[in-house]
Amino acid sequence: MMRNRLLGLILASTLVVLGVGVAAAQSAYDAPSVSLVDRGLFRLTLGITAGPSGSPAGFSIQWMKKSDYDALGQTWPDEGHPALKYCQCYGPYTLNDWAGSPVMGGGETSYLQLGDLGDESGLYGNDYDVLQPGTEYVVRGYAEGDGNGDPSGFSNTLTTSTLTSECTQGFWKTHGPAPCTTGNNSNTWPSSCFPMMLGTVAYSQAQICSILLQSVGGNGLISLAHQLITAKLNGCSTSDLTPIAATIAAADAQIGGLVVPPVGSGYLAPSSTSSKTETLDDYNNGLLGGVANCPTPVMSNTTWGRLKVLYR
């Protein structure tokens, strides 16, 4: 026994002399906490607050439908499970510059919108789709590790749900003319909205559809146009635009004669549009009042008999 210990000491000393060294054990970062900021039809806005040691390498968020979570005995599966979705956030964000940075000091808070990740930068995940309306989800997170600390344990598990009846970008994106339609959805875009003005340029239904299908790709003009289109479609569907009338006017003024991609090649820096984009997004998610119910129930199957009842 003494001989083995002596050999171990000799080996460790030799490694140090040779410059190999022995790695010191790292402590794990403190776990963050996850809270709900607001809900939408297709999104959930989260607040991620760092623990005392912060998140110097960013954080990761995991989520799944509560129905899947319950089916697994209310336990979280290993990574790779088809029901488990994740997002590794390292920043900086460009679409939502109000969201803060995933790299945080102790007690700082960053924000993340599940269901609205496809146009954002500074993150990587396995699911960029919108969330399902009227659906319960469970969410948790942890601080990423780096050369100075190991990954934290998991945060609290947050249970929440999306809304069921507000008209967001996701609704109009799938309830318009082809290819802006999915499954058995019909075109519910009000004809009175067209041609639609974005700035000083008029667009047809087909052109508006192409804009809604266009990835933002770091272009603030596209993200602003997405929410402005949604608000105007809501306004043409009996929603009261009074709460955002000034924002709509300011957005149209900023867009001016720029032609939104893919119809044109206009560009605006995301930092110059993010405030207006977020205000319009909040309105379209029913957070500012004035939004009427969607023209058709989002989750229901449509039959010819039901269409006759809805539109007679």
Residue among 147, 141, 166, 3 at smallest CA distance from 76: 141
What is the rounded distance in angstroms from the CA atom of residue 127 to the CA atom of residue 9? Answer: 50
State the pairing for strand pair 201-203/85-89.
unpaired
What is the rounded distance in angstroms from the CA atom of residue 208 to the CA atom of residue 214? Answer: 10
Cα radius of gyration (the chain): 24
Per-residue pLDDT of the chain (312 residues; tens, 9 = 90+): 334 433 443 444 444 444 444 445 789 999 999 999 877 777 888 999 999 999 999 999 999 999 999 999 999 999 899 999 999 999 888 777 778 999 999 999 999 999 888 878 899 999 888 888 889 999 999 999 999 999 999 999 999 998 766 678 888 988 899 999 877 677 889 899 999 999 999 999 999 999 999 999 999 999 999 999 999 999 988 888 999 999 999 999 999 999 999 999 999 999 999 999 999 988 887 778 777 656 644 333 333 232 222 232
Give Cβ neighbours of residue 65 (< 8 Å, ≥ 6 apart): 83, 132, 135, 136, 137, 138
Coil vs helix vs strand at 97: helix
Using a 10 angstrom Cβ sphere, with 0-12 exposed, 13-18 middle and 19 or more buried, the burial of residue 2 is exposed
Return the percent helix, strand and coil in the chain, to nearest 5. Answer: 30, 20, 50
Spell out the domains of the chain, with CATH numbers in brackets.
33-161 (2.60.40.10), 169-300 (no CATH)
Give Cβ neighbours of residue 16 (< 8 Å, ≥ 6 apart): 22
> Would you state the structure tokens that stand for residue 190, as one six-digit string?
């009000």
